[in-house]
Amino acid sequence: MSRETISQSISIVHPINLSHGKNAEVWDTAGKRYIDFIGGIGVLNLGHCHPAVVDAIREQATRLTHYAFNAAPHMPYIDLMERLTAFIPVSYPVSGMLTNSGAEAAENALKIVRGATGRTAVIAFDGAFHGRTLATLNLNGKVAPYKQKVGVLPGPVYHLPYPSADNGVTCAEALKAMDRLFSVEIDVNDVACFIIEPVQGEGGFLALDTEFAQALRRFCDENNILLIADEIQSGFGRTGQRFAFSRLGIEPDLILLGKSIAGGVPLGAVVGRKALMDNLPKGGLGGTYSGNPIACAAALATLDVMTDEHLQVWGSRQEEAIVRRYQAWRAQHLSPYLGRLTGVGAMRGIELAHADGTPAAKQLTQLLSLARAAGLLLMPSGKSRHIIRLLAPLTIEPAVLEEGLDKLEACLKQLD
Return the pLDDT at 188. Answer: 97
Task: Say if strands 121-125 and 157-160 run parallel, antiparallel, or are unpaired.
Answer: parallel
pLDDT digits (tens, 9 = 90+) for 177-217: 999 999 999 999 999 999 999 999 999 999 999 999 999 99
Query: Residues 345, 238: contact at Cβ < 8 Å?
Result: yes
Cβ-in-10-Å burial (0-12, 13-18, 19+) of 156 comes to middle
pLDDT of 136 = 79
Per-residue model confidence (pLDDT) at position 4? 85
| pTM (two decimals) | 0.94
Distance separating alpha carbons of residues 133 and 367, to the nearest angstrom: 30
**CA 114 to CA 99: how far, in whole Å?**
18
Alpha helices, DSSP H, located in 257-360 = 274-277, 293-305, 308-332
Q: Which of 382, 403, 385 is nearest to 13 (CA)?
A: 385
The full set of domains in the chain, from first to last, is: 53-305 (3.40.640.10), 308-413 (3.90.1150.10)
pLDDT higher than 90, residue 139: no
pLDDT of residue 113: 95
Please check the confidence at residue 80 and state whether its pLDDT lies above 90: yes
From residue 196, how far is each of 87, 212, 256, 379 by CA, in Å? 21, 11, 10, 22
Identity at 351, one-letter amino acid code? E
Distance separating alpha carbons of residues 178 and 125, to the nearest angstrom: 11
For 329, list phi and psi in degrees, rounded to 5: -60, -40
pLDDT interval class at 9 (50, 70, 90):
confident
Lowest-pLDDT range, 90-99, 136-145, 219-228, 310-319? 136-145
Q: Do the beta carbons of residue 187 and residue 220 sit within 8 Å?
A: no
Query: Torsion angle, CA of 234/318/380/143, rounded to 10 degrees?
Result: 20
pLDDT category, 144, cuts 50, 70, 90?
low
**pLDDT at res. 311:** 96
Q: Of 29, 209, 56, 196, give the one whose Cα is nearest residue 127.
A: 196
Q: Does residue 149 surpass a pLDDT of 80?
A: no
Task: Give me the mean pLDDT over the 316-341 stretch.
Answer: 97
User: What pLDDT shows up at residue 225?
Assistant: 98
What's residue 213's pLDDT?
98
Residue 145 has pLDDT above 80, yes or no: no
Could you tell me which of 252, 251, 253, 226 has the C-alpha nearest to residue 117? 226
Task: Give pLDDT, residue 146.
Answer: 64
33-58 residue pLDDT tens: 999 999 999 999 999 999 999 999 99
Q: Which residues pair with 269 in a beta bridge?
A: 98, 257
How far, CA to CA in Å, does 400 sit from each of 53, 245, 249, 405, 406? 21, 29, 34, 9, 10
